[in-house]
């Protein structure tokens, strides 16, 4: 699993010093300061002997504790935007220092005996609570470094990943993707590598899926198939930005890493499932499948070179051509020509005459139409199995859109001469062509970011009438 390790976020712009001090709620210091002043006066004015002396000692003790209280609260206010563990640590140190001062100055006791007794007690307690103390000191270290915050997705140890819901002295609380709450000791997290995936807009990172393909499949074709599948799976995810890399070839397998970006760690499994399903469908549509290691292939079974993209299989998988008989499909497939495309190459351009339609076998294409300023605007993407160019083929109209390859692609061209005899023999097939043409025309009328009026899409009846007229079918 890929990891995105923590990096410090950009520091916020500092506000003017006066504004920062104004935001600090100094009114929260009033109570401890009032208590300290109220305790200081009796400690200074009361006599040492008798009942007044006992009251004087109590006032002195209260003064130093109130003073430590005031300093701890001031530190908490000044460090409000830092981890709470840091302010808690400072507050604890201040109260311990106040106890030492009270022992020496108020009760006038020697500090050596107290230190010796405390050392023995600390040693006993430290041995008994060594695991807990280890968690606490690890929590202090994590609090000072702040490698993660509440809301971040992290992986602190193997098989221990989740969204941070709480951070305390002893432990970090996580909520897994399955909704299970975990309480992980800080020492366990601090002793391992921490992978921080972030949260919200900062949680986007790249994941990858390993796909084994038969090593006899050309690398260019395998990349084309898998990249088109990943782009189709993430078509609704902004900045999905997939790519495909060949990472290993062994035992008859070529291992490809399909890499893509996910919005946050919690959504990774959903996107991995979508990409894996699309990759499997793309390979099966091309007559391939996930490869198995050579040792799992039965003895005596010869390796077979996978067949190239089959136009007959492609025609049979498209709803538009499913009513055709097997003989008709074979006849059309035999007449189709391969059209290989490279990224940026146009398979057709808006306004030119055309006498063919295309079936996309592999890769991804982009549909562009005229925008408000006359420039071409992308309105759609075509994925394997798509049919395009049918309006010019079947009605004689000029091309209404420019189709450009986004990736390496392979299409098949079907000319009017090949389909004309079939349509004349079976006029009922025009109904299916009419439906897909009407839907495509309606979608291509939408121009993103433009408020200008566009001509209404032709109705199904109008398109059907044009088809019958063009092919002289009654």
Q: Report which of residues 302 and 124 the model is more confident about.
A: 124
Query: Was domain 204-295 assigned CATH 3.30.310.50?
Result: no
For the purposes of burial, counting CB atoms within 10 Å of the CB of 87, is it exposed (0-12), middle (13-18) or buried (19 or more)? buried
User: Quick one: pLDDT band at residue 17, thresholds 50, 70, 90?
Assistant: very low
Residue 340 scores a pLDDT above 80: yes
CA angle 414, 468, 420 (to 5 degrees): 30
Distance CA 129, CA 146 (A): 25
Q: Report which of residues 463 and 38 the model is more confident about.
A: 38
Mean pLDDT, to the nearest integer, of 239-250? 93
Q: How far is CA 408 from CA 260, 365, 463, in A?
A: 18, 9, 33
Number of Cβ within a 10 Å radius of residue 99 = 15
Query: Was domain 311-470 assigned CATH 2.40.280.10?
Result: no
For residue 2, what pLDDT is reported?
42
Mean pLDDT, to the nearest integer, of 304-322? 69
For residue 24, what pLDDT is reported?
63
Model pTM?
0.63
User: Quick one: pLDDT band at residue 452, thresholds 50, 70, 90?
Assistant: very low
For residue 91, what pLDDT is reported?
81
For residue 284, what pLDDT is reported?
87
For residue 72, what pLDDT is reported?
86
Report which DSSP code applies to 27. Answer: G
Distance CA 211, CA 120 (A): 62
For residue 307, what pLDDT is reported?
55
Q: Which residues have CB under 8 Å from 138's CB, separation 6+?
A: 185, 186, 187, 189, 190, 191
Q: Which residues have CB under 8 Å from 217's CB, separation 6+?
A: 254, 288, 306
User: Which region among 182-191, 223-232, 326-335, 387-396 has the lowest average model confidence (pLDDT)?
Assistant: 387-396
Residue 290 scores a pLDDT above 60: yes
User: Quick one: pLDDT band at residue 327, thresholds 50, 70, 90?
Assistant: confident
Q: Measuring CA to CA, which residue among 142, 158, 155, 150 is closest to residue 88?
A: 142
User: Quick one: pLDDT band at residue 11, thresholds 50, 70, 90?
Assistant: very low
For residue 82, what pLDDT is reported?
63
Percent pLDDT > 90 in the chain is 20
Distance CA 228, CA 209 (A): 14
User: Which region among 97-106, 170-179, 211-220, 273-282 has the lowest average model confidence (pLDDT)?
Assistant: 97-106
Residue 7 scores a pLDDT above 80: no
Residue 406 scores a pLDDT above 90: yes
Mean pLDDT, to the nearest integer, of 287-302? 64
Residue pair 164/172 in contact (Cβ under 8 Å)? The answer is: yes
Mean pLDDT of the chain, nearest integer: 79
Q: Measuring CA to CA, which residue among 287, 290, 267, 265 is closest to residue 277?
A: 290
Both tokens of 62, joined, read 């209260």
Distance CA 98, CA 333 (A): 91
For residue 259, what pLDDT is reported?
96
Residue pair 348/368 in contact (Cβ under 8 Å)? The answer is: no
Strands 346-348 and 253-262: unpaired
Strands 171-175 and 160-167: antiparallel
User: Quick one: pLDDT band at residue 85, thresholds 50, 70, 90?
Assistant: low
Q: What is the pLDDT of residues 341-397, one digit of tens each?
A: 999 999 999 888 888 889 898 999 999 988 878 788 988 899 988 888 877 776 777
Q: Which CATH class is domain 143-201?
A: mainly beta
For residue 294, what pLDDT is reported?
64
For residue 128, what pLDDT is reported?
58
User: Which region among 174-178, 179-183, 296-300 has the lowest average model confidence (pLDDT)?
Assistant: 296-300
Distance CA 366, CA 346 (A): 9
């Amino acid at each position: 699993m890929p990891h995105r390790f923590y990096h410090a976020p950009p520091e916020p712009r500092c506000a003017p010093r006066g504004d920062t001090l104004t935001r600090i709620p100094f009114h929260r210091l009033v109570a401890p300061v009032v208590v300290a002043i109220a305790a200081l006066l009796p400690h200074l004015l009361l006599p040492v002997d008798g009942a007044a002396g006992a009251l004087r000692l109590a006032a002195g003790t209260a003064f130093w504790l109130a003073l430590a209280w005031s300093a701890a609260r001031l530190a908490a206010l000044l460090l409000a935007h830092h981890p709470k563990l840091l302010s808690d640590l400072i507050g604890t140190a201040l109260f311990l220092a106040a106890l030492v001062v009270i022992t020496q100055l108020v009760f006038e006791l020697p500090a050596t005996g107290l230190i010796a007794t405390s050392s023995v007690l600390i040693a006993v307690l430290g041995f008994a609570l060594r695991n807990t103390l280890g968690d606490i000191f690890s929590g202090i270290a994590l609090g000072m470094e702040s490698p993660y915050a509440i809301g971040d997705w992290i992986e602190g140890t193997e098989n221990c990943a989740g969204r941070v819901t709480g951070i305390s002295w002893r432990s970090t609380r996580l909520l897994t993707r399955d909704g299970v709450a975990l309480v992980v000791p800080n020492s366990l997290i601090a002793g391992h590598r921490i992978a921080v995936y972030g949260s919200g807009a900062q949680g986007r990172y790249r994941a990858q899926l390993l796909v084994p393909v038969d090593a006899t499949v050309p690398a260019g074709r395998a990349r084309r198939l898998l990249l088109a599948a990943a782009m189709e799976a993430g078509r609704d995810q902004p900045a999905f930005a997939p790519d495909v890399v060949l990472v290993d070839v062994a035992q008859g397998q070529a291992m490809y890493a399909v890499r893509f970006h996910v919005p946050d760690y919690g959504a990774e499994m959903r996107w991995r499932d979508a990409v894996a399903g699309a990759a499997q469908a793309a390979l099966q549509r091309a007559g391939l499948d996930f490869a198995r290691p050579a040792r799992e292939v039965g003895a005596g079974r010869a390796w077979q070179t996978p067949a190239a993209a089959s136009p007959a299989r492609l025609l049979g998988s498209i709803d538009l051509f499913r009513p055709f008989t097997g003989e008709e499909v074979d006849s059309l497939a035999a007449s189709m020509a391969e059209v290989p495309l490279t990224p940026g190459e146009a398979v057709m351009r808006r306004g030119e005459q055309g006498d063919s339609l295309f079936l996309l076998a592999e890769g991804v294409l982009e549909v562009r139409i005229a925008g408000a300023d006359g420039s071409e605007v992308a309105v759609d993407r075509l994925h394997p199995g798509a049919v395009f160019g049918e309006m010019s083929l079947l009605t004689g109209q000029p091309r209404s859109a420019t189709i450009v390859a986004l990736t390496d692609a392979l299409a098949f061209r079907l000319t009017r001469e090949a389909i004309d005899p079939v349509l004349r023999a079976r006029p009922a097939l025009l109904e299916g062509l009419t439906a897909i043409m009407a839907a495509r025309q309606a979608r291509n009328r939408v121009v993103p970011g433009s408020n200008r009026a566009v001509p209404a899409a032709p109705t199904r009846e109008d398109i059907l009438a044009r088809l019958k007229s063009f092919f002289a079918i009654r």
